[in-house]
Amino acid sequence: MFERGRLDHLGFTVPDEAVLDALDMQGPYVLAAHSFAGNIARVFAGEHAAGVKGIVFVDVLSPELRAQMTPEEWRTWVGADNRTPAQIAAYPDLERYDFDASLDQVEQVEAADPLGPMPVVVLTASVKFAELVPKYLDEGLLPPDVPRNFGEVIDRTNTAAQAELAGYFPGSMRITDTGAGHNIMIDNAPVVIQAIEDVLAAVRAGRTTLTGG
């Protein structure tokens, strides 16, 4: 059973061909995905390999982040990022995630059919969680058992995970000086727009990489 508002499996959110046809959306596609949606983009690309020709990742969550953390660090991260009972009580339809099931699905899809080369931009927030976590704790926005220095763990592991994701696509562009926090498309929309335009231009030119030819 799936709880109302709960997202246990990415397959329930990835558009199928019937949906795309109904929307009159014909490929090829360039995807732009933020945060958790990075996993949806990767599953969609894996299931529509012939149609997806480029991706812009906007400070995305990824299986690579989980792999960079110890099991204890990952449990802390999941606990900090889960919806609170107060949030759910205020809005029962609030979307909730099963992070492990979703990340497992990304790994399974890509293990079965690895994504091919394509123009990709990986945008990473430049505002560090080391600065934000103590503030969030003081404001009651995080569970009190989250260590005050946990932002340093997030910054270290996310930096490595974002680099690993970019390395998955030879010739990708990784942008870390975004002048933005996690919501880059809000804090610095022009950098996201430019990334999308760069990928679109590369796809229209028939290129399978963004840099190096």
| pLDDT 10s digits, 145-158 | 999 999 999 999 99
- The answer to whether 127 and 180 are in contact (CB under 8 A) is yes
Q: What is the pLDDT of residues 167-202, one digit of tens each?
A: 999 999 999 999 999 999 999 999 999 999 999 999
Predicted confidence band of residue 131 (pLDDT cuts 50, 70, 90): very high
Selection from 160, 168, 21, 154 nearest residue 106 by Cα: 168
Domains and CATH numbers, the chain: 6-204 (3.40.50)
Taking the C-alpha atoms of 46, 47, 50 and 54 in order, what is their torsion angle to the nearest 10 degrees? -50
Rounded to a whole number of angstroms, the distance between the first and last alpha carbons of the chain is: 49
- The answer to whether 200 and 54 are in contact (CB under 8 A) is yes
Give yes or no for residue 15 having a pLDDT over 80.
no
Give yes or no for residue 27 having a pLDDT over 50.
yes
Paired with 6 in beta bridges are: 96
Selection from 138, 139, 133, 176 nearest residue 152 by Cα: 133
- The answer to whether 150 and 133 are in contact (CB under 8 A) is yes
Selection from 159, 196, 189 nearest residue 176 by Cα: 159
Predicted confidence band of residue 1 (pLDDT cuts 50, 70, 90): very low
Q: What is the DSSP string of 125-178?
A: --S-HHHHHHHHHHTT-S-TTS-TTHHHHHHHHHHHHHHHHHHTSTT-EEE---
Q: Between 62 and 84, where is the model more confident?
A: 62
What pLDDT is stored for residue 3 in this prediction?
38
Average pLDDT over residues 103-116: 92
Residues 107 and 114: their CA atoms lie apart, in Å, by 9
The gap from C-alpha 204 to its chain's centroid, in whole angstroms, comes to 24
Tokens, residue 19: 């949906």
Residues 80 and 83: their CA atoms lie apart, in Å, by 8
Predicted confidence band of residue 90 (pLDDT cuts 50, 70, 90): confident
For the chain, the average pLDDT equals: 89
- The answer to whether 157 and 65 are in contact (CB under 8 A) is yes
Predicted confidence band of residue 87 (pLDDT cuts 50, 70, 90): confident
